[in-house]
Amino acid sequence: FQKTMMKRGAFIVLEGLDRSGKTTQAKKLADWLKSRGETVHLMRFPDRDEPFGKVIDAYLKKEIELASPQALHLAFSLNRWQKAGEIRSLISLGTYIVCDRYCYSGVAYSIASGLDEKWVKCADIGLPQPDIVLRFDVDTDVAAQRGGFGDERLECNELQKKVLIEMKKLTDERWKIVNANDSMEGVHNQRRKQEEMGKMEGEYSYDIEKMS
Ligand code: Z5A
């Protein structure tokens, strides 16, 4: 009985191209939720501290090679599966998880890199589903001017354009689009305006029964 009375948290995912400002805005969103008295946990994928994430990190930094793009895709997926239990339990305890990238990056980047769509999607079936996905849309030339672009693998304009096409295909009614070409504060204010208009109200107040 006590469990059913407990307010469920929420799983909020930020998606978008490289340098669209997801990490910056994830922190701002987490601070805003904390200011409203919520318990918040910031999460990101790839989680480079987790064992499979260490492999991904070394690969992206060009320190190691992987035998196939399929192996890379599965490493990204395993990295999420390692956190699936933690995500479920945090949400059931009332925590708001603000997550920087999730399986949508996994699917979009791997399809854009040439892998088979059907095969790519299989690895993530059964992972906890987000309540809401915020898609940060940035023009590739704007993103390319931002700090650090081009240092790691996968950071090239041609791939980014294909990723955006794939990410748009994944977009459904749970997604909200944010214009990420704006300044840091401008992007944050767009988000705040959505909240002030009451659009977010209710979307985050789920009952524990709604957990799958
Ligand atoms: N990948 C994949 O293939 N499969 C998967 O399953 C997953 C990921 C989960 C690494 O991801 C790569 O892995 C990524 C996708 C792929 N490859 N690419 N390309 P990552 O998340 O670890 O990548 P990252 O390099 O740490 O984050 P990011 O996406 O590049 O950046 P961001 O989080 O969107 O942006 P940011 O860190 O907030 O900001 C970037 C810079 O821009 C920084 O200097 C900020 O100060 C600046 N910034 C931010 N916002 C603004 C605004 N509004 N104006 C001006 N400047 C700004």
Give pLDDT, residue 194. 73
- Domain ranges in the chain are 2-210
Distance 22 CA to ligand 1 centre (A): 6
Question: Cα–Cα distance between 12 and 102 in angstroms, integer?
Answer: 10
Q: What is the dihedral of CA 119, 124, 130, 132, to 10 degrees?
A: -20
Q: DSSP of 129-149, one letter per residue?
A: PPSEEEEEE--HHHHHTSTTT
Give pLDDT, residue 44. 98
Q: Which among 14, 16, 19, 13 is positioned nearest to 164, based on CA atoms?
A: 16
Distance 130 CA to ligand 1 centre (A): 20
Topology (CATH) of 2-210: Rossmann fold (3.40.50)
Give pLDDT, residue 211. 32
ipTM: 0.97
Low-confidence stretches of the chain (pLDDT < 50) are 1, 204-212
User: Which residues' Cβ are closer than 6 Å to ligand 1?
Assistant: 18-24, 45-46, 60, 76, 100-101, 105-106, 109, 146-148, 154-155, 182-184, 187
Nearest CA to ligand 1 atom 44: 147
| Separate counts of helices (H) and strands (E) for the chain | 9, 5
Give pLDDT, residue 151. 82
pTM for the full predicted model:
0.93
Cα-atom radius of gyration of the chain, to the nearest Å? 17
Question: Cα–Cα distance between 167 and 53 in angstroms, integer?
Answer: 22
What mean pLDDT, rounded, does the chain reach?
Answer: 89
